Amino acid sequence: MDDRQFRTAMGRFATGVTVIATEVEGEAHGMTANAFMSVSLDPKLVVISIGQKARILSKIQESGIFTVNILAADQQEMSMIFAGQIKDRQVEFDRLDNKPVLSGAIAQVACEVSAEHVEGDHTLFIGKVTDIHLEEKEPLIFFNGKYRSFEKEQPAVL
């Protein structure tokens, strides 16, 4: 398989959209990502995956903290800003457990790095969750290279 086929296959997995944020010397930094998942309930752990070329990688390594901001359906522009698709827009960060978070996110998850693993061309950060803030809104979805939203809620069949 070639790289394009692999990327296309991975794009067929519908995900939420997050902005990963951290802070170094009082300056907040963020990056749009969908490589995020929960790992453990006891202790409460999550994992994020950051590419080796991403500028935020060294900043998380230096700070030892990060937040995961799960974006709401009305925050597509926020996603595009932190993906570098919209330039020259300043974003104000709020605080959760003294860590930078984005206002309006459906979930803000504050973490301390508990482990770091290099795998392939990415670094996986395991984060110990130190605080959470939730909002009741619809999520921003990403599927097949496009932003999506729920049109009609379907009953879960398990």
| Res. 89 pLDDT band, cuts 50 70 90 | confident
Rounded Cα–Cα distance for residues 139 and 149 (Å) = 7
What are the pLDDT digits (tens) for 41-85? 999 999 999 999 999 999 999 999 999 999 999 999 999 999 999
Q: pTM of this prediction?
A: 0.90
User: Is the Cβ–Cβ distance between 129 and 70 less than 8 Å?
Assistant: no
User: Is the Cβ–Cβ distance between 103 and 29 less than 8 Å?
Assistant: no
Structure confidence at residue 148 (pLDDT): 84
User: CB atoms < 10 A from the CB of 107, how many?
Assistant: 18
The distance of Cα 18 from the centroid of its chain, to the nearest Å, equals 3
Look at residue 156 and tell me whether its pLDDT is greater than 70.
Answer: no
| Res. 112 pLDDT band, cuts 50 70 90 | very high
Beta bridge partners of 123: 50, 118
